[in-house]
Chain A
Amino acid sequence: MVEEIGTTEEGDLIINVGPQHPATHGVLHLVITLNGETIKKVEPHLGYIHRSIEKMCESLTYRQFIYVTSRMDYLSAHINNHACALCVEKGLQVEIPPRAQVIRVLMDELTRIASHELWWGAMAMDLGAFTPFFHAFRERETINDIMEETCGARLTMNYMVPGGVMADLHPNFQKKVKEFITLYKLKIKEYDELVTGNIIFQNRMKGVGYLSAEDAISYGCTGPTARGSGVSCDIRKLYPYEVYDKLEFDEVLETEGDSFARYMVRLGEMNQSIKIIEQLIDNIPEGDFQAKTKVVLKLPKGEFYSRVETARGELGVYIVSEGGSTPYRIKFRSPGFSNLSALDHMARGHLLGDLVAMMGTLDLVIPDIDR
C-alpha cells in the first residue's frame, strides 16, 4: 500500500470496493483511486477465494479431478468439466462415440445460455434495475430443471467423464429442451423491452469502458469481452472440438468495443446457442454414451493441452503427466483472470457508476479468477 499512496495526489480518495460489496458478486477486492467521482486507478486484489484447485487436482486421479473444476467457473460447470475431459481423452487417445459428442455439445450450449441469463440479470441489478434479475432466473430455472433430470444436480453436475458422459440422456430431455426453446423465444422479447431498449440503460452502456481490439489482444481478453471489440476468438470456430465444425452458427462480433457492444455480443450468443440446440436436438445419434476406458486411467508421459469456449472466454487445461495415474502438474488458463486485467485500462477516466457497469459486462466469476 505504501507505494500506492505515493503515486496519488493530495485530495485523492482511495476506497476499497470489496471484498464485501454489492457490486462485486463475490469476494473481489478493488482498490480504487478516485478524484472526486472520476476513477484514476483500479487495482484488483485477488486471493480471497483461492482454494488452490490446481494443486488439489495434482493429488487426484484423472477420473477424480474433473469434479473439482466445476467449482472454478460454477456458472459454466459443464464446460469446465468438458475441457478437462477433452484433455484427458487427448492423452488417452480414445475416440468418443458420436452420441456422447452431441450430448456434450447440447449440455455446453444449455450451460452457456444459463450462464448468460444469470449475467443478464446480475448486470441489470448492478445498474440498479432489480426486476430483470428475477425474470432472468425464471428462464434459468427451466434449464436447471433439465440439468437436474439428466445429470442429477443443478449447478455442479460432474456429468462429463473421460470417454463420454456419465449417464445417458433422460427420456424427457428432448421434450423439455423443446419446451425451453419455445419459452425462451417468447421471453427474450421482454429482455429487450425491459433492459436493452431502455434509454437509461443505453446511455449508461454506450461509450463506456472502451477497449480497442489491440488492447483486447494485448490484455489476453477472450470470449464476449474480446468479441465486443471485434476480435475473432471463438474457439468453437477457430479450433473446433466435438461436433462444432459440422454445425451452422455465427460468431457474434461487435466492433464498438464499449460496454453496450459486449452486452449485445452476449445476447447474440444466447440466440446462437439456441440455434445450435435446435440443430442438434432432433439429430442425436444412437449408440453408446461412453467409450470403453480402463478403470484406472494412466496418461502417457508428456504434456497435453485442450481448450474450449466457456461462457466467459477461452478456458485452457494444461496437464503434465509423468505416466502415473495422477497429473504431475496441472494448469488452468481461466478467461476471467485475463478479462479482469483489462478493467483498469477500461475504467480510467470514467465515473464510479461506470465501473459497476464495466464489471457487469466483463461477467466476472470470482472463483474462476482466483481458483
Chain B
Amino acid sequence: MWNFSNIADSIHKWLNLTFSPTLATIIEMVIVGVCVIGLFAVLGLVLVIMERKVSAWMQIRLGPNRVGPKGMFQSLADTVKLLVKEGMTPTGADKFLFNLAPYIALIVAMLLMAPLAFAKDFQMWDLNIGVLYIAAISSVSVISILMAGWSSNNKYSLMGAMRSGAQIVSYELSAGFSVLSVVVLAGSLNLNTIIQSQADGWWIFKGHIPVFISFIIFIIAVTAETNRAPFDLAEAESELTAGFHTEYSGMKFALFFLAEYVNVFIVCAIGATLFLGGWMPFHIGHWEGFNHIMDYIPSSIWFFGKTFFLIFLIMWFRWTFPRLRIDQLLNLEWKYLLPISLFNILLVTAMAILGWYF
C-alpha cells in the first residue's frame, strides 16, 4: 500500500546504497530538518486561517474572504507583510536575549516534533521514553517567554513573562499527571507502544471515566501551557497590551506567533496520541468487519483528523470564555485540578492493577 512509511523506507534504502552510511544519515537529517521547517510553515498558515475562520463564524462574521478562494491565502499575505516589516529592537533592551528569545521558542517547538508518530511507522525518532522527552522539552518553552519578557525592558512584558512562568510551571503538574494515567494503563513510555496498545479501542473509551477525566484535565492544562485563552494571561490583551511580546515586531513577532500555533498543534497531537489512539483507526473490540473498513482510511488522516479536532476544541474555548485572573488561574490548578488528578491517578492505578479495562 502506498503510504508514508514506504516512501521513507525507499528513500532510506536509496541513500544507503548511493552514499556511505555516515553521509546517508547526515543527508537524512537534513531532509528531516527541511521537512520540519516546511511543516512548520504550512501548519502556521493553516492554523492561522483556521482560527480566523472559526472565530469569525462564532462571532457571526464572515471572516477573511478576499485573498484567494474564500480567503484561504489570507495568512500567506499576512506572512509576507510580517516578513517585510521592520524588526525593531528597542533601546535599553538586552539585544542578545531579545533577539534570541523567538528562536528558542521555535527550536523548542521543533524538538517536540521528534517523537510524534504522524502515520503508521512514520516517525522521526522512535524514542523509548517519548512521553518523558515531551514532558521535559515542553517545560523549556517557558524560558523563551521569560527571556523575551525580561530583555524587552518593558513593564508590561515583564509582568506577562512572570505570569507565564507561574502559569506554565503549575500546569505542568496536572498535565503530567493526566499523561501519566495513560502511561500507567499502557505500561510504557514509548509513544509507539502506547498507540499499539489502543488497537482494540482508544484509551478514552477503554479507560472508563478516570481516563475521560484525565483527558479533560489534559485539555485544560495544555490550554494553559500554550497560553491560549481563557488562560492567555501572559498576553492578556486588555490588561498588558500584548504581554511578553509587546516590543516585538516584524518577523520576530511572527516567530512567536508561529511557535504558539505549532505548540498548540503539538500538544493536541500528543493528546490525540495518548487518548485518541494517534494514527490508530477507530476500532471496536473484535468487530472484525467494522475494524477492517476503518483500516481503509489512511493512518495519517486519522492522526491529523484527531489532532485538528482537538485544535478546534481549544479554539472553541478561546472564542467563548472570558479570561481568568492570575490568582484564580493558580487556584484552579492547585485547588481543583491537582487534587482531582491525584485522586484520578489513584483510580487509574487501581484499574490497571485489577485489569478493569477492556
Q: Are A353 and B321 in contact (CB under 8 A)?
A: no
**CB-CB under 8 A for A198 and B239, given A128-B229, A131-B58, A203-B328:** no
The answer to whether A124 touches B322, judged by C-beta atoms less than 8 angstroms apart, is yes
**B323 interface neighbour in A195, A351, A353, A355, Cβ under 8 Å:** A353
By a CB distance below 8 angstroms, the chain A residues around B326 are 37, 351, 353
In the complex, how many angstroms separate the beta carbon of B14 from the nearest chain A beta carbon?
A: 51
Contact among A13, A126, A200 for B324, CB-based, below 8 A: A200
The answer to whether A131 and B59 touch (CB under 8 A), given A23-B239, A126-B238, A204-B328, is yes
Give chain B interface residues in 204-253, CB to chain A under 8 Å. Answer: 229-230, 232-233, 236-241
Known: A128-B230, A204-B322, A352-B239. A15 touches B156 (CB 8 A): yes
How far is B323's CA from A224's CA once the two chains are assembled, in angstroms? 24
Q: Which residues of A contact B163 (CB under 8 A)?
A: 37
Nearest CB in chain B to that of A124: its residue: B322
Is B66 an interface residue when CB atoms closer than 8 A count as contact?
A: no
We find that the number of chain B residues with CB closer than 8 angstroms to chain A is 29
Q: Which residue of A lies closest to B321 (CB)?
A: A200
Kindly state the separation between the CA atoms of A197 and B18 in the bound complex, as whole angstroms.
67
| Alpha-carbon separation in the docked complex, A138 to B326 (Å) | 32
Residue of A22, A128, A201, A351 contacting most chain B CB atoms (<10 Å): A128
A198 contacts B325, C-beta separation under 8 Å? no
A198 to B237, CA, bound (A): 20
Contacts of B233 in A (CB 8 A): 353
Which B292-336 residues sit within 8 Å CB-CB of chain A? 319-328
CB atoms of B238 and A200 under 8 A apart? no
Contact residue among A124, A194, A356 (Cβ-Cβ distance under 8 Å from B239): A356
Query: Can you list 7 A-B contacts with CB-CB less than 8 angstroms, sorted by A residue number?
Result: A13-B159, A15-B156, A22-B238, A23-B238, A128-B237, A203-B325, A355-B239
Q: 14 extra interchain contacts, Cβ-Cβ under 8 A, other than A135-B60, A356-B238?
A: A23-B238, A37-B159, A125-B238, A127-B238, A128-B237, A128-B323, A131-B59, A131-B320, A134-B61, A200-B321, A351-B325, A351-B326, A353-B236, A355-B239
Leading 9 A-B pairs by shortest Cβ distance: A128-B323, A127-B322, A134-B59, A129-B322, A353-B325, A23-B238, A126-B238, A15-B155, A128-B322
Q: Residues of A with Cβ closer than 8 Å to B?
A: 13, 15, 21-23, 37, 124-131, 133-135, 138, 194-195, 198, 200-201, 203-204, 351-356
